Structure formats: structure tokens, C-alpha cells
Amino acid sequence: MKKIKFNQFKGGPGNFFLVALFVGLALMAVLKLADFSHKIESISYSMFLKRLESNQVKAVIVTGNDVKGIYRDGKTRFEVTVPQIPKIWDLLKEHNVETNVVSSGSGDFGIWQFIYLIPFFMLLGAAWYFFRQSRSNGGNSGNIFTMSKSKAKMFMPSQIKVNFNSVAGATEAKEELADIVDFLKNPEKYKRLGARLPRGVLLVGEPGNGKTLLAKAVAGEANCPFFSVSGSDFIEVFVGVGAARVRDLFVQARRHSPSIVFIDEIDAVGKQRGNGLGGGNDEREQTLNQLLTEMDGFETADASVIVIGATNRPDVLDKALLRPGRFDRRVDVPYPDVTSREEILKVHAQGVKIDTAVDLKRVARGTPGFTGADLANLINEAAIIASKTNEAHVSVHDFEEARDKVLIGKELKTIILTEREKRITAFHEAGHALVTLLLPGVTDPLHKVTIVPRGRALGITFSLPEREKHSVSRDEMIAKIMICLGGRAAEELVFNELATGAYSDFSTATDIVRRMVCKYGMSKKLGPLVYNEQGENTFSEETARMIDDEMRAIMDECNEQVIGLLSLHRDKLDTLANALFEKETLHAGEIYTLLDIQSREEHLFK
């Protein structure tokens, strides 16, 4: 099937106006030249002598035997051929005639002709420039006459190489979208029972989770044309342009039906109406109104067009856009779980030379909260690190380094700690690690501890989750708070002083406590109530004071338990901190052996 480019340069009123303007100005230049030539009077040699002697000649230009001049009235020009030039020099001088002599072939008429032709050539160049710009930009950018054309990029089925097999993870989302594919492939299968084709599907998820990839996969599976456009492409400074672009987009989509229109970042054009006054807000609302009309205004029996929108802000979308009949389905595209992360890693690992010792399942386990884009970046960073050192394969160490770099930042080799700062940091991280080890039932297994500075952190303690968690108990949240407080508690216990390195730990602990009290009903005094602290508070000052008191009580209780736990195991704290001070980085296996604690690794993957 021949690829159709509907946004190429086309004739129209705008181009006709440009050509008419060009022809008109060129005609004016020609008429001006004609007018100039009509004012030149050809006279005889005797008439020239007579008028010269009567003092009527103001100035002349002599070119060989040809003389051109102007009378003293300043309006009439003349030309004459003189048989013997030397005889008239005295007459010209006697009557104070301004005289110029030029070489043959460079008369003043040629100069004036060139001057009058300059606008002609300028117009010709301008017309050529606008024509080339319109052709190079597809006729919809850089040309005011085609501004109302849609900026959507059209992909024919032969160009789309993506299908559901290309999308790792997102199992539930693919199942939802499989229905849309079946509708597009076999519409009669559903129409026979009275089912209608869904008008729109809204993909909701955080950036990087594969919304655009899923939309392309639907087009690839359905084997139909795919129009891709961003929500911001509709909005323009000129009022009415956005609505015109929406109309043009749907005209093209219906012409190639069955087809799919994908609008990325639809919240740019689909925000709730009535939140602003005038200006760009009016243009956006007109564009949204046109989109609403197009989605609910065409007959599905005549044109099968599915609109797929993608956003990470469904809360700001207009209610009219979300009602049945427009976006009939909402498909959530969540963060990938550990199984999906492993599948995504395998997809992006294709073509990368990875050491056989690398366990992608373990890598997936150590990347909770990573999106598909993050995982692709992780493998790329690991390959870059291995390439810098000319390694034959990407090793486990390269993946460790890449993950640390992505999560925390690059290793800061320029920061040189004093011996005291390094020792304080060692005890701080040892405190985090030891609390993790001493609460085995409610914490994730320890993975690595390091006091090598990265990003804004002077040291890091890593834990890897045993499994994907979909809910967290109160005991697990208390354990997380205690781990956060373990660093400061160790410093205070050993050095009897307070330092600034625990700020991020306190920030994390405070956030956990606040959620326990205000969202999860884990407070004894406040009970199972949700207190929203975003925007206007819905509770009294007394309730706010109770929230503060409950948060402080939980934090103080956790802090006392941590200090007691570390005091009881002070020998293990000293051993771990001293080893960390010497080696700077310790992995879980080394720590288990060092402290004579049973390893939790044997329970993993069961």
C-alpha cells in the first residue's frame, strides 16, 4: 500500500494569495520601467544645439557619440546622437551644463533598470523560500497558510513493527487492550449482538511505564493506520487553530479507517474547563470542545476510529472527556512487579554481551520502583561502565555500579573525609545495617553497606526485598522507622554527639510516621480515620495537636527501642563499624560471617 502523506504542500487560498501578490508587484516594477522609458525624448542634433544655446539644458551624460541629458525643469529627459563631440565641449562649458563622461555600454538607463529590478528578484527569492519551507516542513509548520493542518504523524501498518510480544510485563493492560484489537479486526463479531465499538481508551500510569509502547502495540496487532500526536501540538497562540487541527486530524483518521489516534499527554489539552480567564485558556477550551465533539460525533458504522489517550494526571481531566461514549475504558499501566521487571530486563539485554554470572532475577529483585525506562537505562549504564574499562562482558559489578549511580549518584572520588568523619560515617551505616539484621522477620534482607560517598550521601545501606509487597504491616513500618533512626542512635551511643548526616533518615522516618497516623489508621488515640493535610485541613486545632503528639510518641518509642537494641549488641556494632572503616564496602555474605549471624539468602526465591 502506498504511503499517504496528507500534510504535504498543497495549493489553496493562501498559496493563491502569495502568487497573486508576487505577480502584482512584478507587474508594478515592469510598469515603472515602461513609464521611465516613455519620459525620454529623442531630439535632433540641431534641436539639441538650439536648446543648449537657449540655456535649457541642465546636465548631460556623454557615452561615445550618444548624449543623454535632462532639462532645467527637472522633469523631461532627452537623448541625441552628436556627430562630432569635441565641437560641443565649449558650448557645454559656456552654458554651465553639468557634464559626465562614461564608457560605452554603461548608460544610466541600465543602472536604473537594475535598481527597478531589485524588488522583482527579492520577491522571486521570497516566493522560492516560502515554497521550500512549506515542502520541507510538510506543509504544517513554518507556513502561516497551513497552520490549521494537524501535526499528527501517520504510520501505516507496514511501518509498525511493534506488537504485544514486544511489550514485556503489563499483562493486565495487554489483556484489556486485546479486546480493542479484536474489535478492530472483527467488528461484525460484536455488532451481531448489538455491541458497539469503544470510542476511546485512556492509558493511565507514571512516565516510563510503557503507555506509548502499548498504544503502538495495539496498532501493530490490529494492522491498521496509527496517528500519533502530543496534546501540546494542538495548542497555538492563534485562537481557533487548535480546533482546526483536531478537525483535520479526525478527517484524516476517518479517511483511513479503521485507524487509531494516539494523543500523548492528553492532559495538556483535556484539563477541566472554567479554571482560567481569557487568552490561551479560551483557545485550549475551544480545542477541548472540538475534541469532545469529534469523539462523540462520528458514526462507528461508517468509520472505525479508536482514540487512545495517555496521561499521568487523570485527576485534572475534564469530566466530559471521561464519560462513557468518549473514553469508555481506563487502563492502568502500573509500575512493573518483580516478574515483569525480569522480563523487561531480558528484552533490553538482547544484543548486550552480559556475563553468564549475572542473574537478571536478582537484578530485578534489587530494583523495586523502577519503570521500564529505568530498567532500560540501567542496562545501558552497565554496558557503558563495562566499555570504559574494556571488559569483554558486562559483569555483576557493572550492574551494581550502574544501579548505585541511577539510585543515588556517581561515586564522588574528589571528596576526602578526615579519619574522624570516616569513622562517624562507618558507625552511622553500621547502625542502619545492624538494626536490619536484628529484626529479621519484618525487614528486607541486607545486601550491601558502603561508606563511599555518592551523590549527597556519605554512605549507603542497601536491602533487597524477598518478594513483591502489595501491603505493609504496622510492624514492618515500625521496623523501617527503627532502621532510619539506627544511624543517629549509633553516633550518639559511641561519640555522644549529634551530627547533620541523619537529615534524610529523619525525613523518611517522619513521612512514614505521618502516613501511619493520618492515612492508615495505625494510631491508638486517633483510630481508623483519614486526615487529609493537602490543601485545607478538615480537622480542628485540637486534632492537629493530637496528630503531632501521636507522631512524636511513635518516634520516641522507636528511638528508645533502637538505642536499647544497639546498646545490647554493642560488640557487634563495633566489629561491623571497624571492618567497614577498613574495607569501605561490605556485602551481606561478609557481614553474616563477620558477625556470626545466619544468612537469609538461603530463603530467597522460595
272 close to 321: Cβ distance less than 8 angstroms: no
pLDDT score for 555: 94
Q: Where in the chain is the domain with CATH 3.40.50.300?
A: 153-332
pLDDT score for 52: 81
Q: What is the three-class DSSP state of 353?
A: coil
Pairing of strands 200-204, 153-155: unpaired
| Residue 296 grid coordinates | 462523540
Starting at the edge strand found earlier in the chain, the sheet holding 200-204 runs 153-155, 226-230, 259-264, 305-311, 200-204, 329-332
pLDDT score for 2: 41
Q: Compute the C-alpha angle 354/356/357, nearest 5°.
A: 110
Is residue 294 annotated as a catalytic residue, yes or no?
A: no
Half-sphere exposure of 273 (CA within 13 A, CB side): 13
Which residues neighbour 412 within 8 Å (Cβ) at sequence distance 6 or greater?
A: 453, 454, 455
Fold of 419-603: Methane Monooxygenase Hydroxylase; Chain G, domain 1 (1.20.58)
Q: What is the three-class DSSP state of 201?
A: strand
pLDDT score for 48: 80
Burial per residue of 44-54, b for 16 or more beta-carbon CB atoms within 10 angstroms, e otherwise: eeeebeebbee
Q: Compute the C-alpha angle 323/325/326, nearest 5°.
A: 70
pLDDT score for 5: 41
Alpha helices in 54-170 (DSSP H): 89-94, 108-136
Q: Where in the chain is the domain with CATH 3.30.720.210?
A: 1-146
pLDDT score for 76: 77
| CATH no., domain 153-332 | 3.40.50.300
pLDDT score for 3: 42
pTM: 0.66
The residue among 49, 55, 53, 54 whose CA lies nearest residue 67 is 49
Torsion of CA 545, 546, 548, 550, to 10 degrees: 170
Q: Which of 236, 429, 492, 550 is catalytic?
A: 429
The residue among 534, 504, 529 whose CA lies nearest residue 516 is 529
Task: For residues 531 and 546, give the distance between their C-alpha atoms in angstroms, rounded to a whole number.
Answer: 12
| CATH no., domain 1-146 | 3.30.720.210
| Residue 550 grid coordinates | 501521636
250 close to 244: Cβ distance less than 8 angstroms: no
Starting at the edge strand found earlier in the chain, the sheet holding 77-81 runs 40-42, 77-81, 66-71, 57-63, 98-101
Q: Where in the chain is the domain with CATH 1.20.58.760?
A: 419-603
Task: For residues 534 and 512, give the distance between their C-alpha atoms in angstroms, rounded to a whole number.
Answer: 16
Pairing of strands 40-42, 57-63: unpaired
Integer CA distances (angstroms), 549 to 283, 505, 532, in order: 50, 20, 17
pLDDT score for 281: 59
pLDDT score for 139: 45
Q: What is the three-class DSSP state of 421?
A: helix
pLDDT score for 505: 92
Task: For residues 550 and 539, give the distance between their C-alpha atoms in angstroms, rounded to a whole number.
Answer: 15
Pairing of strands 66-71, 77-81: antiparallel
Please return the burial class of 320, using the count of CB atoms within 10 Å of its CB with bins 0-12, 13-18 and 19+: middle
Q: Is the domain covering 338-407 a CATH 1.10.287.1770 domain?
A: no
Taking the chain (606 residues) in runs of 10, the rounded mean pLDDT of each run is 40 52 62 56 81 82 80 80 73 79 57 60 68 53 53 77 83 85 81 79 88 86 84 67 80 83 86 60 76 68 76 86 85 88 89 88 85 90 91 89 83 80 92 92 88 84 79 92 94 88 91 92 86 65 89 94 93 93 89 84 40
Q: Where in the chain is the domain with CATH 1.10.8.60?
A: 338-407
